[in-house]
Chain A
């Protein structure tokens, strides 16, 4: 499943063929269909695995963040490739993906709100900024510049 998370996090959903899955996961095509029902079935399980393996530890780490700079750095250094791709590509066309993504992002907002003692809308803005920085390739001065303006938080 780790290989599936890597595949789906590395390229567009349509760019991952069943041939790719069969060769990277080391399973037979028939057993892939038998186990997961469809490529989408496998994708949903990979997405949930990503949320457990990569997003859950981020939430735990965020609980220990003392300021906005620390929270931003934790999010921008996490492996969130599949979550980002799912948000952009699959959530608009797949209600089940949309609800997973929404819940995961809300959990990140909540973790930041709890750790920093800030309102949830400000926490959501910090999450959005951090994901934006991550999308742009994490230029370090962006995090520093932003944190300088918002720390210390109330």
Chain B
């Protein structure tokens, strides 16, 4: 699970609990200028994810960490795909973040409103 909040001009993502361990990441801070949008996307977890490095992928249990696919680097922290939110980035190490959040609808509204 991830907590997403807006802190001034930054989007701050905090990875919670043991997912920190599985994903090799505690938190991420991204300038809002490099955030292109957020989308609730329960279907994304069933698609191909590419090669993990470093990270953890136990199908149907957890997808966590850094994955490489088609020249893109994507950070995942998802156990329950129904709560997955995709945050698209520009000019960052990660092309996108796929995060499980408590309330996808509220998270999408939070990020999209911060951008407009």
A96 within 8 A of B: yes
Do residues A38 and B69 form an inter-chain contact, with CB atoms below 8 A?
no
Do residues B44 and A38 form an inter-chain contact, with CB atoms below 8 A?
no
Stretch in A28-36, A59-67, A112-120, A130-138 with 4+ CB within 8 Å of B: A28-36
Q: Which residues of B contact A17 (CB under 8 A)?
A: 41-43
B72 within 8 A of A: yes
Do residues A41 and B43 form an inter-chain contact, with CB atoms below 8 A?
no
Size category, B interface: 20 to 34
A39 within 8 A of B: yes
Q: Which of B42, B43, B96, B108 contacts A33 (CB 8 A)?
A: B96
A153 within 8 A of B: no
Which label, helix, strand, loop or mixed, suits the secondary structure of the A interface? helix
Closest to B41 in A: A18
Q: Which of A30, A38, A94 contacts B36 (CB 8 A)?
A: A38
Q: Which residues of A contact B109 (CB under 8 A)?
A: 93
A151 within 8 A of B: no
Do residues B36 and A37 form an inter-chain contact, with CB atoms below 8 A?
yes
Do residues A18 and B39 form an inter-chain contact, with CB atoms below 8 A?
yes
Interface flags, B32-47, vs A, CB<8A=1, else 0: 0000111111111001
Q: Which residues of B contact A33 (CB under 8 A)?
A: 39, 86, 88, 96
Do residues B95 and A34 form an inter-chain contact, with CB atoms below 8 A?
yes
Closest to B105 in A: A14
Q: Which residues of A contact B93 (CB under 8 A)?
A: none
User: How many residue pairs at the A-B interface have CB separations less than 8 Å?
Assistant: 52
Query: Which residues of A in the span 11-31 have a Cβ within 8 Å of any Cβ on B?
Result: 17-19, 22, 29-30
Do residues A37 and B43 form an inter-chain contact, with CB atoms below 8 A?
no
Query: Which residues of B in the span 73-96 have a Cβ within 8 Å of any Cβ on A?
Result: 86, 88, 95-96
Do residues A37 and B88 form an inter-chain contact, with CB atoms below 8 A?
yes
A40 within 8 A of B: yes
Interchain CA distance A133-B39 in the complex, whole Å: 34
Q: Which residues of B contact A37 (CB under 8 A)?
A: 36-37, 88
Q: Please name 11 pairs of A and B residues whose Cβ atoms are closer than 8 Å in the assembled complex, sorted by A.
A: A18-B41, A18-B86, A22-B43, A29-B47, A33-B39, A34-B95, A37-B37, A37-B88, A38-B39, A38-B88, A40-B39
B residues near A, CB below 8 A?
36-44, 47, 69-70, 72, 86, 88, 95-96, 108-109, 112, 116
A residues near B, CB below 8 A?
17-19, 22, 29-30, 33-34, 36-41, 93-96
